[in-house]
Amino acid sequence: MLTVVAFFVALGLLVAVHEYGHYRVAVACGVKVLRFSVGFGKPIFSWRSPKSGTEFVIGLLPLGGYVRMLDEREAPVEPHERHLAFNTQPLRSRAAIVAAGPVANLLLAVVLYATVNWSGVEEPKAVLSSPVAGSVAQAAGLKGGELVRRAALDDDELTPVRSFEELRWLLTQAALDGMRVHLEVESKPGSSVRDVTLDLSALQVRDADAQLFRRIGIVAPWTSPVLGDVMPGGAAERSGLQRGDLVHRVGQTDVVDGLQLRELIRKSVLDDKDVAQTWLVERSGQMISVEVIPDVVREESGAVGRINAYVGGAPEMVEVQYGAFEGLAKGFERTWDVSALTLRMMGRMLIGEASLKNLSGPLTIADYAGRSAEMGLIQYLTYLALISVSLGVLNLLPLPVLDGGHLMYYLWEGVTGKGVSDTWMEYLQRGGVAVLALMMSVALFNDISRYLAKLLAVFA
């Protein structure tokens, strides 16, 4: 239920802001607005302004919205109101009205990101877990437990890294753009810092997913290799492991952190059969040896080991909060970065350099809406900002059925001095609808594929 509510609240807010952008600029340009609607279908609420005559409507289906303006192309206009019609406005006014919707979504994202920055959020500290074997991070000499002080892309100036999430965002940008990441790390508190370079140009990234970070080698923040809740009847309980056990060694391998311990457990399978492990654990200040035989579980990647216990403690947290001006500046910066990254990914998908699996549809959006709402207000606001950026960027694409398509028409009119002919307009509209329908179909297919994969994982 929370997922449904969070999804429709998000959709309603983003659509309302988008349409309000069109409405507000239309009124400022002297255009008469006949109807402002959030949602389609039968109205469940309507109100008419006695001053402007605009009808404000909330439709039954909250899957979009529209602003209907006085326009000679849609219906006859009285001569005394012709100056109020949209089609009679100068080119700059029409372009401003059309662009105002996507711009409103981008500005909303800035405000939401700034609100998160001002409020402050608890995030994991930028302490690195042990790198994945064979990854870029391991090749660069990282061992695990290093604190990242500063970072930069390529030849940019090093800037402070406040949290692991900030580092993760930097790595995502670098991997998708094939750039190098320079890290200034501190191996132990108070020790001298050293420079580490991660060259991500050879990764040839197609999907921005969990496997990307495994290839980079930086998957999660550092956690203590301690056991949490032990499930009844599982391999951990059968082996005599207990909650609070601190694992120092598995076989002949010294354990650095929780991530490494999870990897050692997963790899405790040989020819689809379990392999006994001797663990050296610390319990109540004493060192004891425990023989552990993990259960064998089959996943898409093959057979892996499981012990049915929570592995790894909570990461060290730090509060990330910005002042008034810095928080707003960071809001603009994040909105710009996400917009640019979205456009680059769309461009790469168009030429085949990125997988179409990166497209997400309504099911995935609704799923993330529910998850973020469960995590708290700050996470939900961050989710809203991300979707608002996506909506703004999508509507600026030069597809005839979108705002960007109309701006494309106006660009042609500005260059040639005449508008697009009705015949070409019809052809372009059909083509735009076909492209948009194809994109929506792919996104929905990806949603269903992800959902089925989750079901198979549950029942495997």
Residue 32 within any structural domain of the chain: no
Higher pLDDT, 119 or 346: 119
Same-domain pairing of 452 and 378: yes
Average pLDDT on 22-32 reads: 94
Residue 359 within any structural domain of the chain: yes
Average pLDDT on 19-41 reads: 92
Average pLDDT on 395-424 reads: 84
Looking at residue 352, its pLDDT comes to 67
Same-domain pairing of 283 and 409: no
Nearest partner of 247 among 324, 304, 309, 326, judged by Cα: 309
Residue 286 contacts by C-beta under 8 Å, 6 or more apart in sequence? none
Residue 61 within any structural domain of the chain: no
Q: Report the distance separating Cα 223 and Cα 130, nearest Å.
A: 10
Same-domain pairing of 442 and 326: yes
Same-domain pairing of 382 and 275: no
E strands, 18-54, in order: 33-48
pLDDT tier, 275 (very low <50, low <70, confident <90, very high otherwise)? confident
Last residue of a domain, one of 150, 182, 216: 216
Residue 42 within any structural domain of the chain: no
Name the token pair of 389. Answer: 């950026």
Residue 156 contacts by C-beta under 8 Å, 6 or more apart in sequence? none
Same-domain pairing of 166 and 207: yes
Nearest partner of 246 among 201, 285, 196, 193, judged by Cα: 285
Q: What pTM did the predictor assign?
A: 0.82
Which of 84-93, 132-141, 271-280, 311-320 has the least mean pLDDT? Answer: 271-280
Domain containing 419: what range? 99-120+322-460
Looking at residue 202, its pLDDT comes to 76
Looking at residue 458, its pLDDT comes to 36
Residue 286 within any structural domain of the chain: yes
Nearest partner of 313 among 407, 225, 419, judged by Cα: 225
Ranked by mean pLDDT, which of 25-29, 49-53, 373-377 comes out on top?
Answer: 25-29
Looking at residue 247, its pLDDT comes to 93
**DSSP-assigned letters across all residues of 407-449:** HHHHHHHHHHSSPPPHHHHHHHHHHHHHHHHHHHHHHHHHHHH
pLDDT tier, 333 (very low <50, low <70, confident <90, very high otherwise)? very high
Looking at residue 457, its pLDDT comes to 41
Nearest partner of 402 among 84, 64, 26, 173, judged by Cα: 64
Name the token pair of 97. Answer: 């009205």
Q: Report the distance separating Cα 170 and Cα 382, nearest Å.
A: 17
Higher pLDDT, 124 or 450: 124
pLDDT tier, 446 (very low <50, low <70, confident <90, very high otherwise)? low
Which of 130-139, 317-326, 363-372 has the least mean pLDDT? Answer: 363-372
Same-domain pairing of 379 and 398: yes
pLDDT at residue 459 above 50? no
pLDDT at residue 442 above 70? no
Residue 23 within any structural domain of the chain: no
Count Cβ neighbours within 10 Å for each residue of 167-185 and write b for 16 or more, e otherwise: bbebbbbbbbbebebbbbb
* Three-class SS state of 191: coil
Last residue of a domain, one of 311, 339, 374: 311
Name the token pair of 325. Answer: 């001006």
Same-domain pairing of 330 and 278: no
Q: In the chain, how many domains are there?
A: 3
74: left (phi over 0), alpha (psi -120 to 50) or beta: alpha
**Encoded amino acid at 179, one letter:** M
Q: Report the distance separating Cα 374 and Cα 114, nearest Å.
A: 21
- The share of the chain scoring above pLDDT 90, in percent, equals 30
pLDDT tier, 205 (very low <50, low <70, confident <90, very high otherwise)? low
pLDDT at residue 8 above 90? no
Looking at residue 72, its pLDDT comes to 86
pLDDT tier, 220 (very low <50, low <70, confident <90, very high otherwise)? confident
Residue 12 within any structural domain of the chain: no
Same-domain pairing of 307 and 327: no
Looking at residue 210, its pLDDT comes to 62
If you average pLDDT over every residue of the chain, what do you get?
84
Residue 232 within any structural domain of the chain: yes
Same-domain pairing of 268 and 235: yes
Looking at residue 234, its pLDDT comes to 87
Ranked by mean pLDDT, which of 80-89, 101-110, 188-197 comes out on top?
Answer: 101-110
Query: Cα Rg for the chain, rounded, in angstroms?
Result: 27
Per-residue pLDDT tens digits for 183-199: 999 987 767 889 999 98
Last residue of a domain, one of 288, 311, 334: 311
Which of 116-120, 131-135, 354-358, 407-411 has the least mean pLDDT? Answer: 354-358
Average pLDDT on 128-145 reads: 88
Same-domain pairing of 383 and 407: yes
pLDDT tier, 450 (very low <50, low <70, confident <90, very high otherwise)? low
Same-domain pairing of 329 and 411: yes
Looking at residue 460, its pLDDT comes to 35
Looking at residue 27, its pLDDT comes to 94
440, 361 contact by CB (below 8 A): yes
Per-residue pLDDT tens digits for 45-68: 888 988 888 999 998 877 788 899
Higher pLDDT, 445 or 230: 230
Looking at residue 301, its pLDDT comes to 67
Same-domain pairing of 343 and 454: yes
| CATH of residue 192 | 2.30.42.10
Per-residue pLDDT tens digits for 415-437: 888 877 777 777 777 777 777 67
Q: Active-site residue numbers?
A: 19
